[in-house]
Amino acid sequence: MPETSTTVPSPRLHVVDHPLVQHKLTQMRRVETPSERFRQLLSETSLLLTYEITRELALQQVEIQTPLTTTSAPELVDDPVVVSILRAGNGLLDGVLRVVPGARVGFVGLYRDHDTLEAVEYYCKFPPMEGRTVIVVDPMLATGNSAAAALDRVKAENPEAIRFLCLLAAPEGVASLHSAHPDVDIWTGAVDECLNEVGYIVPGLGDAGDRIYGTT
């Protein structure tokens, strides 16, 4: 086993320890959980994680008419933009959009070079993001290289704020992402022990994309 790493507590790291998140995460970790059930659990968990990452979105007061009277009530200033890191990020995207259906969506296609563990981009398509809050989603924050590369591309669009949402993180990935982008907060369901020698999170749940889509 590789040596266990530790994560230095950071105000920019938010671990969502809700019992339902932890229960569903345990079911996803099980090797016998089939892809169909894994996808369902991931969608359900992403709903819960989205409630937390959107907790501080800006509100404004508007005048509305209820069935009884007029009143002033809060609504979002703007829906966030959601950026999915392909392909596994799409497993989180469904749940996020169920909570914020008005969000516009961008995509960054990245794959990890298995020799260097560096991120290689093959696709990028964004809606307008200038001055908006952007939520970047990817189930696994392992080495942090793919996440950092995606955030580089997002920052070039001049958003007002960026948040990163993942299901699982490794301490090495958290440290790497905070080193490259110290202004970006991370929300995750758990921070696991470490990375193994080929860059997978331990104990983890395997390759999220393969678990979602039934590939190997």
85 in a structural domain = yes
94 occurs within a structural domain: yes
Is 42 inside any structural domain? yes
Catalytic residues: 112, 116, 207, 210
Residues β-bridged to residue 137: 84, 165
Checking DSSP bridges between strand 161-169 and strand 119-125, what pairing results, if any? unpaired
Average confidence score pLDDT of the chain: 91
Q: What is the pTM of this model?
A: 0.89
State the pLDDT at residue 64. 97
> pLDDT value at position 11?
80
Strands 161-169 vs 140-141: parallel, antiparallel or unpaired: parallel
CATH number of 36's domain: 3.40.50.2020
Flag whether 2 is in a domain: no
Instruction: Over range 70-99, report the average pLDDT.
Output: 94
Determine, yes or no, domain membership for 139.
yes
Residue pLDDT, tens place only, 156-182: 999 999 999 999 999 999 999 999 999
pLDDT score, position 9: 58
Which structural domain range is residue 36 located in?
13-55+79-213
3 Cβ contact partners less than 8 Å away, ≥ 6 residues apart: 194
DSSP H or E segment with residue 65: strand 59-65
Residue carrying structure tokens 């393969």? 210
**CA dist., res. 114 & res. 106, Å (int):** 25
Residue 8 has pLDDT above 70, yes or no: no
- Give the count of domains, the chain: 1
Q: Is residue 96 part of a domain?
A: yes
Assigned domain for 120 exists: yes
